[in-house]
Amino acid sequence: MNKGNYSTMLEVIANDVRISVAQVETILGAFYNFVARSLKMGRHVVITDFGVFFVKNREVRFKSSKWLLRFLNS
């Protein structure tokens, strides 16, 4: 994702859940670090609940982003 798209995504999420862009970036950064550490340890990460998020071999695919919005809004 290029920097422009990333910035736009942060702004959209922040506006939708009514928090600052900095808070969104902090939460996504923490999530990214958790997933990255798990992958470095050779773990397969599958998170399901508010949609499905798969991570395997450092490839990421979102099937639904609604879980993220609910997570950020909680």
Residue type, 9: M
Domain boundaries, the chain: 3-73
Q: What does the pLDDT profile of the chain (74 residues) look like in tens digits?
A: 566 788 888 898 888 888 889 988 888 887 888 888 888 888 887 776 654 444 454 444 444 455 565 555 54
pTM for this entry: 0.56
Spatial separation of the C-alpha atoms in residues 10 and 37, rounded to whole Å: 23
Task: Look up residue 54 and give its DSSP letter.
Answer: E
